[in-house]
Amino acid sequence: MTRPLLLRGARLIDPDAGRDEVGDLLVIDGRIADLGGTLAAPDGAELLDAAGAVLCPGLVDMRAALGEPGFEYRETIASAAAAAAAGGITTLAALPDSVPALDDPALVRLLRARGEETASLTIHPYGAATRGCRGEELAELGLLREAGAVAFGDGQACIASARLMKLALSYARCIGGRIVQHPEEPVLAAGAAATDGEWAMRLGLPGVPAVAELIQVQRDIELARLTGGALHFAHVSTAAALGAIRAAKADGLNVTCDTAPPYFDLNETAIGDWRSYAKLSPPLRREADRLAVCAGLADGTIDAVASDHQPRDADDKRLPFAQASPGAAGLATLLAVTLARGHGGDLTLPRAIELLTAAPARVLGIEAGRMRRGDPADLCLFDLDAGWQIVAGELPGKAQNTPFDGRPVEGRVLGTWKAGRRVHG
């Protein structure tokens, strides 16, 4: 039993409930007992003056690699949990392309349990769509679903076979599951290090044409139309692919998508003089695509923003650009870089928070990302206007491979609570 906690005078924003008001929130026994208006403090309660700060649900990150198992030199569950707490994240969906891949129900259960052990982060594992994430044969989706897999995909690998994708969508539909695709036609993308065009040519880098994303998206939309399956596209980054997804939604297909902060905050020029921290998969795009992603966030075409956290060790990045591992750390910077779109006028503050809380929870079908009476008190308190600078080497957690190194941002997490227990701040 812990003391009741009363947070006073915060700006309470809960997009799931349409709430945006100044008021109090009371936590008793790890759950939200009451919120809104001026509340009386129970005897012995801890009082926290939150005036001037925003209090929202703990963030839900729907796409992150944890490093463990298999790549503990890059990241561990413990270090990822610390970075997540510092970023206001209390719920995370973990990618399945670890070593071993999450194609065994026992591994799904183990990862869920390891999340509970942190006492700060709920982990919802993705199940591998194919055995070993190799794209050769379907994994046991039904058993993985029973073990707690929140959706199915092959992580950073595209499910290239149209036959396998059709089977996966059909099978997942029968068990109430969703298939998550890395939308990049793999033959066109093979060996690429940047988006094909003037910038890649100037740096002498092998490029992938941006149309590789559209080709994969269009194929899989038609398979979703054929099967009636639920399909999600990860880290969408091009205007053309967003147009196809927008049309699919208008047709009533069960198609959703997310993007990640690099694709609405950076463009291909960020690779500069072969800056390997800005080497991503998919690669950074042209400015017109970045602007299209911003528009997709505002008009609802893009359902959620995910960190797309891909921890890399310094030795993974200290290589010639074409040989360096793609991927960026994103847990601690997720909120601040997303808020930049609000500061820039592209998004309202409630919409920015929705993209990080209620919206990803809806896509995943989980109970998180909201503030209701009786819910676990998973909370994020932040100062909307507090400025700080993202510096590689000074981020919480083990992974430091941020493409935003040196970028000034506004929006600092003041406190994170998991089930009423303060885990950061």
Element (H, E) at 178: strand 178-181
Catalytic residue among 308, 316, 375, 378: 308
Cα separation of 271 and 283, whole Å?
A: 10
Closest to 108 in 3D by CA, of 59, 177, 41: 177
Is-cis flag, bond preceding 69, omega within 30? yes
Closest to 188 in 3D by CA, of 167, 166, 219, 165: 219
Cβ 232 vs Cβ 220: under 8 Å: no
The question of whether 265 is a catalytic residue gets the answer no
Cα separation of 188 and 214, whole Å?
A: 12
For 204, residues 6+ apart whose C-beta sits below 8 A from its C-beta are: none
CB 250: neighbour CB atoms within 10 A?
A: 9
Cβ 371 vs Cβ 21: under 8 Å: no
Cβ 378 vs Cβ 311: under 8 Å: no
> Which residue has 């059909």 as its token pair?
170
Closest to 335 in 3D by CA, of 316, 355, 320: 355
**E strands present in 260-305:** 304-305
Instruction: Count the helices and strands in the chain (H runs, E runs).
Output: 14, 19
Please give the structure tokens belonging to residue 78.
């413990």
- How many angstroms separate the first and last alpha carbons of the chain? 21
For 41, residues 6+ apart whose C-beta sits below 8 A from its C-beta are: 4, 6, 26, 47
Cα separation of 45 and 28, whole Å?
A: 9
Pairing type for strands 207-208 and 152-153 reads: unpaired
Cα separation of 87 and 78, whole Å?
A: 14
Cα separation of 415 and 341, whole Å?
A: 22
Cα separation of 64 and 49, whole Å?
A: 33
- Annotated catalytic residues are 308
